[in-house]
Structure 1
Amino acid sequence: MTLKKRLFTVGLSMVVATGFGVFTPVFAGEHGTAHWAYEGEGGPEHWGGMSKDYAACSQGKSQSPVDITGAADEKLDDIAFNYKPSKAVIENNGHTIQVNYEKGSGNTIKAGGVEYELVQFHFHDPSEHTVRGKSYGMELHLVHKNVDGKLAVVGVLIDTGAEGGAYKEIWNSFPKKAGDKKELKAPINANDLLPKERLYYKYSGSLTTPPCSEIVTWLVIKTPVQMSKAQVDAFKGIVKMNARPTQPLNGRRISAEAAGK
């Protein structure tokens, strides 16, 4: 694998604040030459010291993922999902399998009164977030950006069980080598990847990969979806373990959308 490919991250992963408070996302591969990984000398415990751009990974106080525990029920607005069948490109970026959308695809969510556009989604094995100490087989992250460049990431926990039919097209299209990418044969509707029940947990956190920028509103859906063991194993056959350990809450509040509100 070339150095350039190794540096490409799982997605939007660095944010620069201007004097006007506007945030512009860029890619971590564009900043520094640190080669991060999930184990060994490039593993999560070393990220913060690998580059000055990654300092938040060790010094930040609002890091992600977290163990979701002690969440307080609140009357949160439902997340309004406005997804539709769309063309997309699937790639193996060396850290995960990622599906990228063209800008202006029209796939959006509205959360907390703010509209965000779906930029990409990707997967982690095992889940990065845990719920009261329980880990899941995998986790899907749908990354959204608003007009100010701030991010909202919808996390979907994936339990091992029945085959996830909605994931077949993605799984059948896995690029085997890092750096490979191709257009999916059929348009994909990200709505099909979500559970029917969409109550969620909400907290303020960070990207789970370097540079660990603390600019993410996390929306983790309570109800997991299912995927067969064969599907999970197929992912593992291409991408090694790619989950950052849970991070301290440091006094942060986790809100839970209350049922029947």
Structure 2
Amino acid sequence: MQKAVTYFTLSLVCFFISISTCSAANWAKVNENSTSKLMIDKQSILEKDKLKRAWVKIEYKAVQKNLESPDTQYNLSKLLWYFDCPSQKSAATQVFQYFNNELVHSAGIDDVKKAKFIEPVPESDFDRAMQYVCASHKTPTPKAVTPAPAKAPPTTEAKTEANTSAKPADAESKATEAKPAEAKPIEKKPAKPNNKAEEAKKPVAWGYDGKEGPEHWGKLSEEFSMCSAGSTQSPIDIEESLDANLKPLKLLQKFPAKEILQTNHSIQLNFRDGNIVAIDNITFKLKQANFHTPSEHSIQGKSFPLEAQFLHSDIKGNTAIVAVLFREGRPNPGLEKVLKQLPNESNKAVTLKSRLLASEMMPSNQDYYRFSGSLTSPPCTEGIRWILIKTPMTASKEQIDALAALTQHNNRPLQALNGRLIVD
């Protein structure tokens, strides 16, 4: 963004200074926690070019540092924010930063088409602002009005008949002539079976090496296009994070895994219904767990020999993944049960005989990083809520080597952050 405000319109200036001719802002508090207070000017919400727009104000309870100029400190931000509600992405076009009500930094662009729209981190101020604006100021869909059929003008014969005293027999004759002939039903020929359409689609082969490897996933199938075209792909390296005072992780893990199978790409556990994680006041049910060697995510450039990913979904089909990293150390009892009950055949689910809980493969300290990302394998669907637990578990060298021999380096390379925020 250019650090100049000469191109700002008079309406923007009116927003920040008190002038009697300007309409007063109507600030609505959207959220307040121990770190900030989020407000939106309800008067400014409008829809333009299929985007929704609003002025957003964030009051910080601790002094913030400008990322471009670390010497610049601020405790209040005012932003003109655009929201692409259908794709759940947003972009700021004007930014004003204040320290004790004194303007210390400003930046902006004059064309929203040049703005970079990104998916905000779930539960962040920008995500809350988007949910508020997209839920409000909805344009009602007009009901379709079916016009009444126009009456046909009377024919010459009808006029003559109305103005003369016709005999009953003549009237009956005219009525008989006017009566349309009964339409014969059209016999529909049975549609020819479309053998191509009826054939089940064969799954597209993909892997981690060669022409089916990660760098080619986006070209293997149209369904995989997000693997190369997406802007919030996973995995990522956790280099920096913003302290957002996240709520403790709420996990219920009382129900054991029911099946285990070895797929073409991972060792997979399928869980019984009942295990849940609560995120954003939404209940996500634990469906399965997969293992990756070495780890897919890294912390400050450090990779781990093993990563377990616990996939959850809600009733609308949204996905949340809780990831746990493993370092070499003491054997893990849960992993030992996994290795002892592996099936002899690939892609064949086997019922687990010994009780295995997800909690056996998670640390007691569940402080976590949170960010928005994607599935780490095709179709690389975005909009995934990621929870990466900070404290790694331990697994013995023998356990790690045994899983690595089965999964054979099934980790996708790190993906670009593209401006995403990571909160903890």
Cα pair distance change 1:76/1:32, threshold 3 Å: farther
Instruction: Identify the residue that residue 385 of structure 2 maps to in structure 1.
Output: 217
What is the CA deviation profile of residues 93-133 of structure 1, one whole-angstrom value per residue up to 9, with x for unaligned ones?
A: 1110000124xx11101122221000000100000000010
Give the C-alpha shift of residue 32 in structure 1. 5.8
The structure with the largest alpha-carbon Rg is: 2
Higher relative contact order at CA 8 Å, sep ≥6: structure 1 or structure 2? 1
Give the C-alpha shift of residue 176 in structure 1. 4.2
Letter matched to residue 39 of structure 1: D
Instruction: Identify the residue that residue 116 of structure 1 maps to in structure 2.
Output: 284
Instruction: Identify the residue that residue 77 of structure 1 maps to in structure 2.
Output: 247
Q: Which of 399, 408, 415 in structure 2 is aligned with 1:231?
A: 399
Matched, 1:252 2:420: yes
Q: Which of 314, 327, 330 in structure 2 is aligned with 1:146?
A: 314
Cα pair distance change 1:252/1:236, threshold 3 Å: same
SS of corresponding position for 1:141: strand
Letter matched to residue 296 of structure 2: E
Q: Which of 45, 53, 70 in structure 1 is aligned with 2:223?
A: 53
Letter matched to residue 178 of structure 1: S
Letter matched to residue 78 of structure 1: P
- What's the C-alpha RMSD, in Å, of the aligned pairs? 1.7
**Residues 19-38 of structure 1: matches in 2 within 5 Å?**
33-38=203-208
Letter matched to residue 89 of structure 1: E
SS of corresponding position for 1:253: coil
What is the CA deviation profile of residues 152-207 of structure 1, one whole-angstrom value per residue up to 9, with x for unaligned ones?
A: 10000011111112321111112243212201102221112100110000000000
Q: Which of 128, 131, 137 in structure 1 is aligned with 2:305?
A: 137
CA distance in 1, matches of 2:280, 2:201: 31
Matched, 1:67 2:237: yes
**Residues 89-100 of structure 1: matches in 2 within 5 Å?**
89-100=259-270
Cα pair distance change 1:31/1:137, threshold 3 Å: farther
Contact conserved, 2:261 with 2:268, CA < 8 A, in 1?
Answer: yes
CA distance in 1, matches of 2:255, 2:373: 30
Letter matched to residue 278 of structure 2: K
Matched, 1:205 2:373: yes
Contact conserved, 2:271 with 2:288, CA < 8 A, in 1?
Answer: yes
Matched, 1:86 2:256: yes
Instruction: Identify the residue that residue 194 of structure 1 maps to in structure 2.
Output: 362
CA distance in 2, matches of 1:135, 1:109: 26
Percent of pairs with identical residues: 36
SS of corresponding position for 2:321: strand
Give the C-alpha shift of residue 31 in structure 1. 6.4
TM-score after normalising by structure 2:
0.52
